[in-house]
């Protein structure tokens, strides 16, 4: 059996962290993902909006629902705004706390929509020098100073630019991975690692890898997929996120089976597949860490599939410095525990093989046993009650 090692996790994170990303500007991450799918020999398609749907089917797979693992390819970042005769500014795409920019010059790096044909894809360094609040939730427009402003093309020729926080792509310290963007490229890496494990194990099951766009501005890619009904109607959808750590969802405590999000709870039958995989892992190794919690910090992509009638559940890896905001607050790398990632990949690889199983049967049997144990006592004790 393939082992989900620390080294495998670091390799996957190092590779995907090299690519800057933002809502509408996911091309680099998407190209990496499709390259990995080709390497693994897993067929895929892209819908008319650029969402990626990969389809693993192992030899001898039973006629059972697919486990559809879903993550988004973008991360909070910003788009460059150009106005004739004015310095460039930037529109935030996703959440950011304005307090991070009060009295600070925050380093950024600006990239063209697509990497240059020749030369390094290193971006243009600069700083945020101020901001303006605009009329939508967490809406900000930044004032920028760029070191090579002349490299910005006139937007009239169709060339667009986006920017990210200028932080190290990845640093590993002990068992913690610090990255400039974790939410949710680590979810994408999780799917790739899971598919890789299924290929190497020759697992007889069906598993979809679903990579979506523009989550940070309102679950847009996932909503378009749900609307189009591209995923099989009987699929068990698992939304994968890296979510702000909460009591009961602690960094290093294992991946989190996510009961619900800010809006509502998810599907119990879908969740039972994750429970069965967790139970099998803990039977083999009682020290295996898996948490279960309602992650109420925000909404995730699971919600649009719940509302579209899919059996849907979710998992999360607890995340520090959510959306790059440190406790101070300042802009800082996000971080996760490598053990949480490795355990999540193993759990999902096992769960993919359980969709043909009635994973609720052990719970049913437990309560059938209770019922048969106490049925006669319940009847006898009731007959002893005084008449009123």
Q: Cα separation of 330 and 321, whole Å?
A: 9
- Whether the CB-CB separation of 342 and 196 falls below 8 Å is answered with no
Residue 49's CB: how many other CB atoms inside 10 A?
A: 13
pLDDT of residue 87: 87
Question: Is a pLDDT exceeding 70 seen at residue 379?
Answer: yes
Q: Which residue has the higher pLDDT, 120 or 305?
A: 305
Q: Note the pLDDT tens digit of each residue in 313-359.
A: 999 999 999 999 999 999 999 999 999 999 999 999 999 999 988 88
In the numeric block, the tokens 């969802």 are attached to 249
pLDDT of residue 281: 96
Fold assignment, 6-75+170-361: Aminopeptidase (3.40.630)
Helix, strand, or coil (residue 67): strand
Angle at 52 between CA 47 and CA 57, to 5 degrees: 110
Give the model's confidence band at 153: pLDDT under 50 very low, under 70 low, under 90 confident, else very high.
low
Give the model's confidence band at 157: pLDDT under 50 very low, under 70 low, under 90 confident, else very high.
low
Q: Note the pLDDT tens digit of each residue in 62-101.
A: 999 999 999 999 999 999 998 877 889 999 999 889 999 9
pLDDT of residue 162: 97
Q: Note the pLDDT tens digit of each residue in 106-144.
A: 999 999 999 988 888 999 999 999 999 987 656 899 999
User: 15 vs 9, 29, 210, 229, 321, CA distance in Å?
Assistant: 10, 10, 19, 32, 21
Peptide bond into 329 cis (omega under 30): yes
Exposed (0-12), middle (13-18) or buried (19+): which is 82, by Cβ within 10 Å? middle
Domain boundaries, the chain: 6-75+170-361, 77-165
Using DSSP bridges, classify how beta strands 77-81 and 291-294 pair: parallel, antiparallel or unpaired.
Answer: unpaired
% the chain with pLDDT above 70: 97
């Amino acid at each position: 059996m393939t082992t989900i090692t620390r080294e495998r996790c670091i390799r996957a994170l190092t590779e995907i962290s090299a690519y800057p990303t933002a809502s509408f500007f996911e091309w680099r991450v998407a190209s990496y993902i499709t390259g990995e799918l080709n390497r693994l020999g897993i067929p895929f398609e892209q819908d008319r909006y650029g969402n990626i749907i990969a389809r693993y089917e192992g030899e001898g797979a039973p006629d059972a629902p697919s486990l559809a693992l879903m993550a988004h390819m973008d991360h909070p970042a910003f788009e460059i705004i150009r106005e004739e005769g004015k310095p460039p500014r930037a529109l935030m795409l996703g959440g950011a706390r304005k307090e991070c920019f009060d009295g600070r010059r925050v380093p950024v790096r600006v990239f063209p929509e697509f990497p240059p044909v020749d030369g390094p894809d290193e971006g243009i360094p600069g700083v945020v020098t101020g901001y303006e609040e605009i009329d939508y939730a967490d809406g900000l427009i930044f004032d920028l100073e760029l070191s090579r402003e002349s490299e910005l093309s006139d937007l009239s020729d169709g060339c667009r630019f986006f920017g990210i926080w200028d932080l190290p792509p990845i640093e590993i310290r002990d068992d913690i991975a610090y990255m400039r963007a974790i939410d949710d490229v680590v979810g994408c890496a999780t799917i790739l690692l899971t598919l890789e494990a299924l290929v190497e194990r020759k697992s007889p099951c069906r598993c979809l890898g679903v990579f979506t766009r523009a989550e940070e501005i309102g679950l847009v890619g996932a909503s378009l997929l749900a609307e189009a009904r591209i995923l099989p109607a009987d699929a068990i959808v698992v939304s994968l996120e890296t979510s702000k750590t909460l009591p009961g969802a602690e960094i290093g405590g294992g991946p989190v089976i996510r009961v619900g999000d800010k809006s509502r709870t998810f599907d119990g039958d879908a969740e039972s597949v994750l429970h069965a995989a967790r139970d099998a892992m803990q039977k083999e190794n009682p020290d295996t860490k898996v948490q279960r919690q309602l992650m109420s910090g925000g909404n995730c992509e699971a919600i649009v599939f719940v509302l579209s009638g899919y059996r849907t559940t979710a998992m999360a890896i607890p995340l520090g410095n959510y959306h790059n905001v440190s406790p101070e607050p300042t802009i800082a790398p996000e971080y996760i525990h490598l053990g949480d990632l490795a355990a999540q990949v193993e759990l999902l690889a096992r769960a993919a093989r359980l969709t043909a199983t009635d994973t609720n049967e052990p719970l049913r049997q437990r309560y059938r046993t209770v019922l048969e144990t106490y049925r006669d006592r319940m009847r006898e004790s009731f007959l002893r009650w005084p008449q009123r």
